Amino acid sequence: MQDDDLRASDNVDDRRGSGGGVSGGAVGGLGIGAIVVLSLIGWATGIDPRTLINGAEVITGSQNQASSAPATPGREGAPTDKVGAFVARVLGETEDVWSQVLPQQMGKQYEKPVLVLYSGATRSGCGAAQSAMGPFYCPLDHKLYLDTSFFGDMQTKLGGGGEFPEAYVIAHEVGHHVQNLIGLLPKVEQAEQKADQRGANALSVKTELMADCLAGVWAYHMNQRHQNIDANDIKQAVATASAIGDDRLQQQAGRGSVVPDSFTHGSAAQRVQWLSTGLQTGQVKSCDTFAN
């Protein structure tokens, strides 16, 4: 993927190395080792790792007093280091694409989110953030959270990686922001509260697969603008989407069997299918996973 001519966004809050309001290598009194273990359990069982981590904090009675402290502001603007600059350029391209596509296709104005870069742990409007959770979007503060060490994990632990797959990860989280802007996320949250665990998991899968598809829509329009991705880039992205399917993660965790009812992001085949749909059509309406 060629990214040299992509515009770098200034909507980056770079908290790397600042601590982000969390000290001592722990959040809520839990050590990083415990956080990693709980996150792996979450991946294997289909339970949101944040739920397990927050529950462990309550059970142990070890809530850190700093948990209510606001996050330490980071350096604002486009970072100048290699990884930070790449993230800022991808974010800038999501802004440029969605500022055109969302009004044209959905009649909605695009609001640019802030992307928070951090290392280890920080705070979000949705609670504590740890690198072991992976990238995520918080609909309460309209911000994306990314510890770029996840890019290394994609290669060493998940068998994916490469610049376009890394851009796909960012675009997926931006996809959740698009879902929020069109009013989908609040409706899903309300439906999840009324559903049992199986039903809530099914809603989560549809939401995540739609974000995969929206990442594909973004990539389609980026390539129309810059002709900067090729067949190998798409092959790498598809391999990454496959590697992070719930069934693959459960198999890697040694469950012995795959439990579809526990999926929260979708199977490898589903993730590849919906990313490919977005890449091929470039249409938001083609990403309606809730109609399928």
Indicate the range of 31-40, 125-134, 231-240 predicted with least confidence: 31-40
User: Residue 285, Cβ neighbours under 10 Å: how many?
Assistant: 10
pLDDT by residue (tens digit) across 202-230? Answer: 898 899 899 999 999 999 999 999 999 99
Name which residue leads in pLDDT, 220 or 161.
Answer: 220
| CB-based burial, 188-221: b 16+ in 10 Å, e otherwise | beeebeeeeeeebbbbbbbbbbbbbbbbbbbbbb
Q: How confident is the model at residue 33 (pLDDT cuts 50, 70, 90)?
A: very low
How do the domains of the chain map onto residue ranges? Answer: 12-291
Q: How confident is the model at residue 275 (pLDDT cuts 50, 70, 90)?
A: very high
Q: How confident is the model at residue 272 (pLDDT cuts 50, 70, 90)?
A: confident
Please tell me the pTM assigned to this model: 0.78
Mean pLDDT within 254-281: 70
Best CA proximity match to 141, nearest among 70, 84, 47: 70
pLDDT by residue (tens digit) across 231-266? Answer: 988 888 877 766 654 434 444 444 444 444 444 566
The H or E element containing residue 13 is: strand 12-14
- Going through 80-226 in order, the beta strands assigned E by DSSP cover 114-117, 121-124, 127-130, 136-138, 143-146
Name which residue leads in pLDDT, 132 or 36.
Answer: 132
Rounded CA gap, 134 and 281, in Å? 28
Instruction: Give the model's pLDDT for residue 43.
Output: 47
Mean pLDDT within 92-107: 98
On average, the pLDDT of the chain sits at 77
